[in-house]
Structures are given as C-alpha cells and as structure tokens.
Amino acid sequence: MKGSKAIWAVVGALLILMIGGGALLYANRGAFIKAAAPAPEAKSELARFAVGPLARLQTPATLTPSPAYVFKTREGVDARFADFRGKVVVVNLWAMWCAPCRTEMPTLAALARAYQGRELMVLPINVDAEAGKIADAKSFIDVHEPLPLYSDPRFQLPFLMPGKGNMPQTVLLDRRGRIRASFTGEADWSSPEARALVDALLAEPA
C-alpha cells in the first residue's frame, strides 16, 4: 500500500512539472518565435533615399557585381555592363506587354535629358522576344529621346537581377559596375528623390 502511495506521489509530481513546463513555454512563445525569425537584411547608406516614390527602394549593404551577361544593342551588337564602367548606370528592364513599364518610360527619358553631358547612362533593356513586339519597342523608344534601345530577347536578365524576374525592374550600378540599389515596379525616375539618389552615386569617387 505504501508502495502504491509512493508511486502515485511520483506520478503527481511529474504531472505538476509537465504542466508547469508547458505553461512556461506558452508564456515565452513570443521569445522563441522572435529568435527563429531571420534578421532583416542590412542596408547601405543609400537607404536614406528610400522615401516618397522610392519608398520600396532596396539598398543592400553587401555589394555584388552586375551580371556578366551579354545583351544586344539596337544594331544587334553584343553589349555588357562592363562596357559602361566609369559611369553611373540606371538599368531599366522593360517590355511592351508590361503597362507599368511603358508608363514610367517618360520619367526615365526626363532623367536622361537632365543629366546629358554627365557620367550617367540611362540604359533601358527591352525583353520582348517576338519580332513584332521588338519592332513596336523600337518605335516606342524612339519617341522617348534620348533613350537608346538595348534588348534581351532571351528574357534572362530580369531573373539575374535583385527583382528575380519581376517587371518593371530598375537597378542602379555605380562606376565600378556594382549593384547599389534596385526597385521593382513603376516609379517616377524624374522625381527629386530619384535625382538625389543619382547625385549621390555621381558624387562618389570613380
């Protein structure tokens, strides 16, 4: 009889410990969830320009080089981002089937006009694949002087950039060809915020 009482006493004590432990885990569940959450990505000093129309601007602290990818000039000649080293480059990936791409193009043209004669290259790269769409893209870009036409008919470049295939996608490269900022979606690239970002990159030493 005494043995049975001892066993029940041990069982009762274990139940109390289990209930108490469960209550403690429940009370501290928030701490465990927070500990499991990934740390936010570090941002560079350019994050101060992520305001207004550029509020979604991504400015990674870890700098990576632009992809060594071959795209085409209007004449079909091979082109690479390395061809523009020494300049700040605003890469815009666009297509005729992308309505926001066409909507923001006048603002990119305005940006290019505002910085003519300076070491800035506004580089629209069209990703249409069909011959008819490419012809439409040429006609479309011609009414947005002084923008040139470059193309990536294989539609691979958007997936090599930070936006991972999203369109439109705009990526800013510094004079050394490194990705300094990126933006997915339509934006006003002639806005004071966009020009302040460009001015900051132009002010950096070559």
> What's the whole-number mean pLDDT along residues 26-48?
66
On the question of pLDDT at 160 being above 90, the answer is: yes
The pair of structure tokens assigned to 159 is 């997936």
Q: Indicate left, alpha or beta for 145 from its phi (over 0: left) and psi (-120 to 50: alpha).
A: beta
On the question of pLDDT at 26 being above 80, the answer is: no
75/165 same-domain check:
yes
Q: How far is CA 24 from CA 11, 29, 33, in A?
A: 20, 9, 14
Euclidean distance between CA atoms 51 and 45, whole angstroms? 13
155/94 same-domain check:
yes
**How much is the pTM?**
0.80
Phi and psi, residue 106, nearest 5°: -60, -30
Euclidean distance between CA atoms 67 and 70, whole angstroms? 9
22/80 same-domain check:
no
Phi and psi, residue 194, nearest 5°: -65, -40
- Those residues whose C-beta lies under 8 Å from the C-beta of residue 135, and which sit 6 or more positions away, are none
Percent with pLDDT over 70 in the chain: 80
| Domain membership of residue 15 as a residue range | 2-36
Q: Decide: residue 44, CB within 10 A, 0-12 exposed, 13-18 middle, 19+ buried.
A: middle
82/159 same-domain check:
yes
On the question of pLDDT at 41 being above 50, the answer is: yes
> Is the CB of residue 197 less than 8 Å from the CB of residue 172?
yes
b/e code 85-114 from CB counts within 10 Å (16+ = b)? eebbbbbbbbbbebeebbebbebbbbbbee
Average pLDDT, the chain: 87
106/28 same-domain check:
no
> What's the whole-number mean pLDDT along residues 148-163?
96
Give 170-182 as a DSSP string.
EEEE-TTSEEEEE
Task: Name the domain count of the chain.
Answer: 2
On the question of pLDDT at 171 being above 50, the answer is: yes
pLDDT per residue as tens digits for the range 174-187 = 999 999 999 999 99
pLDDT at residue number 32 = 43
> What's the whole-number mean pLDDT along residues 132-153?
96
